[in-house]
Amino acid sequence: MKFTLVAAIAAGALASAANANLFFESENNDTAAAANFLGTYTQPGDSFAVDGRLTVGDVDWFSFSVTHTTQIVAAAFGVPNSLVGDAVMTLLAGDGVTIIAQDDDSGVALFPALEAIVPAGTYYLVMSQYPDFDLDGLNDFTGAPVSQDFRYKIAVGLNIPGPASAALMGVAGLVAVRRRRA
Ligand SMILES: [Ca+2]
Ligand SMILES: [Ca+2]
Ligand SMILES: [Ca+2]
Ligand SMILES: [Ca+2]
Average confidence score pLDDT of the chain: 87
Please give the residue that has the higher pLDDT: either 4 or 20. 20
Nearest-angstrom CA–CA distance, 47 and 55 = 26
pLDDT in tens, 103-141: 999 999 999 999 999 999 999 999 999 999 999 999 999
The values of phi and psi at residue 173, to 5°, are -60, -40
Among all bound ligands, the one having the nearest atom to the CA of 52 is 1
Strand runs (DSSP E) across 93-179, as ranges?
A: 99-103, 113-118, 121-129, 150-159
For residue 1, name the pLDDT band (cuts at 50, 70, 90): very low
For residue 164, name the pLDDT band (cuts at 50, 70, 90): low
CA of 29 to the centre of ligand 1 (A): 7
pLDDT in tens, 54-76: 999 999 999 999 999 999 999 99
Q: Which residues contact 177 (CB under 8 A, 6 or more apart)?
A: none
What does DSSP assign to residue 134?
S
pTM beyond cutoff 0.85? no
Compute the chain's Rg from CA coordinates: 15
Write down all domains in the chain, each with its CATH number in brackets: 2-176 (2.60.120.380)
CA of 33 to the centre of ligand 2 (A): 12
Alpha carbons within 13 A on the beta-carbon side of 179: 9
Q: Which residues contact 164 (CB under 8 A, 6 or more apart)?
A: none
What pLDDT shows up at residue 47? 95
